[in-house]
Each structure stands twice: as structure tokens, then as C-alpha cells.
Amino acid sequence: MAGFPAVLVTGPRQSGKSTFLKEELGEACAYVTFDDPLVRERARTDPKGLLDQFPGTVVVLDEVQYVPEILPHVKMRADAGPSRATRWVMTGSQRFELMRHVTESLAGRVCILELLPFSLRELAGAGAGSLADMLWRGFYPPAALALAERDLWVRSYVQSYIERDVRALQQVRDLRLFETFLGLIAASHAQTVNLASVSRDAGVSQPACRQWLSVLEASYVVALLPPYHRNLGKRLVKSPKVYLLDTAIAGYLTRQPSPASMLAGSMAGAFFEGFVVCEALKAFTNRGRRPEVYFWRSHDGLEVDLLIEAGGKVHPVEIKLTATPMPRHAEGLTKFRALLGPGACAPGVVVCSVEHPAPLADNVSAMPWQHFPDWVASL
């Protein structure tokens, strides 16, 4: 962050942005939250007076997306140089709308970082429990650390944040239609998005479904995994796979009754796949790197769940909820490596529930899911 007069930390609500900054910056920083309607009003009517309160210090402007009008005033102070000696640290939870205002006002002056919910590596020392319990509680700090009752917290999160953000950004008039749409997206967890089918089942136009899906992505509720093609243009136009970013929210929206159901029902493989894919996203995001991740599907039905571009090679990953991986689980990896060539493609891995790494096929090995985050971090 050195060399930037301003820093923006984005991420979903309740992921711990404010707590993290207060812990890292300590008592020396000044803290202003625009969640407070009185502070928001002052920021709109007297932005200069508000910001002039903090000369020569570190100032945290929390949830700055509520008052984009203040960003040009932050820019003027950032341009004032070392004489002002103020460091501006901002947080925000609505990525697309926020980034539009930031790039207009603070281009070249702001370092942009993302803070997602806990990763497996971050929870390792907190006693995360069994895989089923971990998927059930999810990775947001209040639920993951048992600081709040899981069912109540997840239900409140969906109602207070997801639905509120969508109403704020898209002015949804019929909330029941959106709830139906959200349930259909959750049922598509770890599958390719079929907006025509979702539109028909939800009774909402395809353009509206597309806008709502964009809002869910902007609010860090879902992550979209594009298909891999050597032709970069095709990556942009083909249907992506959709993942709920947090397993607890995915379980709540698909009406899972217990931790055991997460790994025993018809969606068990999807929940496990989503957990592994999101660990890959977090591994890159936590290091300030853009995740270059995709999936691949051949014309004859073979698939590779996850492709990671790193270090000049493509690293293919298959994800299977099994403790007994078989050579057939490596078929998609083997075919993809043959098509891409060993010079461009790294050896493949099957992430599963084995206790120890083991060879599975030529240039393919089985990997315990507990090892996956460290492996991705090494790429």
C-alpha cells in the first residue's frame, strides 16, 4: 500500500472489514461510519467540514458507498501531498456501484484490496470442527466462530443485507419474486447458469434476472466461474457456473435441515465443490491477486471442475466428495492435459477426502481437501 494516499477495502457485509482495520491500525486512527444516517447527512451537506476534522492522521471512512459525493473531496486531499499527512482508508460492500465512483474520483490514487469471509487457513487455529459443521456454519466471522446462533444469523443476513442491497440497487418492487429468484440461483449452486430456465420458473424477465444476478455478484453473495477457452472472447460469452460464496447461506437457501444433510443429501457434491472453489478464490484475493480461475467442459461431456492459471501454466483440479478416489475421477484431467499439452498444463489433482496424497493416474494425484488451500497459496 506504500505510495498510495488512499486505500479501499471492499468485501461482503459482515466479513470483518471494520474489525480488521481497527485491529491493524490501532487506536491512532479516526473512525467514521456512514452506516449512521446523521453522519451520512453531514457528509452530503458539509463534506469539507467533516474531513477537515482529521488533519495528519489515519482516517477510516466505513461503508463509503453510501456517500459517493465525498470521494472528490478525498481526492483533493490526496492530491495535496505529504503536507496534509492524512491517510484515507475506506471500506465498501457494493462492488460495482462503488468501483464506478472510485475509478471516476480516485483513479491512480487508491490501492484496492478485497476482504472475503474467513478461509480454511484462517480458521485452522480456531477449532473449525468437522467438514460438515464447517460447511453448516459457513465462514462469516459471527457464525464461523459461534459468536451468534447460526440459523438466526444467516436468516437475518439474508433479510437485512442481501434483500436490502438488491432493493437499494435495483428498486425491486415485488420482494417475493426476488426471493424465488434467489432460491433458484441457490438450487443452481455449482452448476452452469441457465437464465432462460430461471426466468421461466421465477416469472421474471431474462434482463431482470441478469441484473439481479449482477447485483448478487456485486454484493459478494455469488461468484461466477467462467468457462475456459483458449479464445478469450469465448470465455466472456459462454454461460458461467454459479457458486454461493458462503456455504451457510447456500445451505439456508436450499433448506438444509442439519450439518449432516450438507454432506449426505443430493447437493452434497455441490456444497463440497463450492467450498473448494471459494477456497481458491480466497487464496488469491487474500494476497491481493486477481483469481484467474475457470472450469472446462468438453463436447463429449468430460469436465474439469476448476482450472487455475498461475506461474505460466494451467493447473487442473477435479473436486470429488469421496474418500476412495478412482482412476475414472481423473478422466477429465487426463483429457484436458492431452488437449492443452504438458508444456502449458501442470499435473492434475483430485481434491477429495483421502487422508494422504496419493498417485491416481499418469500426472494426476489425489489430494486431501485440508491440503488444498496451502497448495493454491504456493502457485
Domain assignment of residue 13, yes or no: yes
Q: Give the pLDDT confidence score for residue 236 in this predicted structure.
A: 47
Mean pLDDT for all residues in the chain: 88
Residues 179 and 71 in one domain: no
Beta bridge partners of 91: 9
Q: Could you tell me what percent of the chain has a pLDDT over 90?
A: 59
CATH number at residue 158: 1.10.10
Tell me the HSE value of 103 on the side-chain side, using a 13 A CA sphere.
Answer: 6
Summarize the confidence of residues 52-57 as an average pLDDT: 80
Domain boundary among 285, 316, 340: 285
Distance (Å, whole) CA 17 – CA 62 = 9
d(CA 82, CA 5): 9
Tell me: do 200 and 222 sit in the same domain: yes
Max alpha carbon distance in the chain (Å)?
67
Q: What are the grid coordinates assigned to 303, written together? A: 469436465
| Lookup: cell for 354 | 483421502
Q: Which grid cell is 48?
A: 469539507
- Domain shared by 137 and 277, yes or no: yes
pLDDT given for residue 94 in this prediction: 67
Q: Dihedrals φ, ψ of 214, to 5°?
A: -65, -40
- Give the C-alpha distances (Å, rounded to integers) separating 114 from 227, 257, 282, 378: 23, 32, 9, 20
Q: Are 88 and 6 spatial neighbours (Cβ–Cβ below 8 Å)?
A: yes
Do the domain assignments include residue 145? Answer: yes
Q: Is the pLDDT of residue 79 over 50?
A: yes
Domain co-membership, 171 together with 263: yes
The count of domains in the chain is 3
| Final residue before a domain boundary, out of 262, 285, 308 | 285
**Boundary residue ending a domain (87, 114, 141):** 114
159-204, pLDDT tens digit by residue? Answer: 887 777 666 666 667 778 888 999 999 999 999 999 999 999 999 9
- What per-residue confidence (pLDDT) applies to 166? 67
Q: Is the pLDDT of residue 302 over 70?
A: yes
What per-residue confidence (pLDDT) applies to 211? 87
Q: Are residues 13 and 131 in the same domain?
A: no
Q: Give 312-337 as a DSSP string.
A: TEEEEEEE---SS--GGGGHHHHHHH
Give residue 231's pLDDT. Answer: 62
Q: Are residues 256 and 328 in the same domain?
A: no
217 CB neighbour count, 10 Å cutoff: 17
Q: Which is it for strands 358-361 and 348-352: parallel, antiparallel or unpaired? A: unpaired
Q: pTM of the entire structure?
A: 0.90
Buried (b) or exposed (e) across 175-214, using 16+ Cβ within 10 A? Answer: eeebbbbbebbbbbbbeebebeebbeebebeeebbebbbe
Reply yes or no on whether the pLDDT at 372 is more than 80: yes
Give a yes or no: residue 334 inside a domain. Answer: yes
Which residues lie across from 304 on neighbouring strands?
296
Q: Please, which residues have CB within 8 angstroms of residue 301's CB and are 6 or more apart in sequence?
A: none
Q: If you average pLDDT over each of 102-111, 170-179, 315-324, which comes out highest?
A: 315-324
Q: Dihedral through CA 243, CA 249, CA 250, CA 255, nearest 10?
A: -160
So what's the pLDDT on residue 153? Answer: 94
Amino acid present at 8: L
How many Å is the Cα radius of gyration of the chain?
22
**Would residue 1 count as lying in a domain?**
no
Tell me if 268 is assigned to some domain.
yes
Looking at the DSSP bridge assignments, the partners of residue 359 are 365
Query: Do residues 63 and 45 share a domain?
Result: yes
Claim to verify: residue 323 and residue 369 sit in the same structural domain:
yes
Full domain range(s) for residue 105:
6-114
| Residue 275 shares a structural domain with residue 159 | yes
The enclosing domain of 52 has a CATH number of: 3.40.50.300
Query: Could you tell me if 35 and 162 lie in one domain?
Result: no
Q: Are residues 218 and 167 in the same domain?
A: yes
93 and 154 within one domain = no
pLDDT at 84 over 80: no
Q: CA 343 to CA 67: how far, in whole Å?
A: 50
Q: Which residues contact 166 (CB under 8 A, 6 or more apart)?
A: 172, 178, 212, 215, 216, 219
Tell me the C-alpha distance between 138 and 126, whole Å.
13
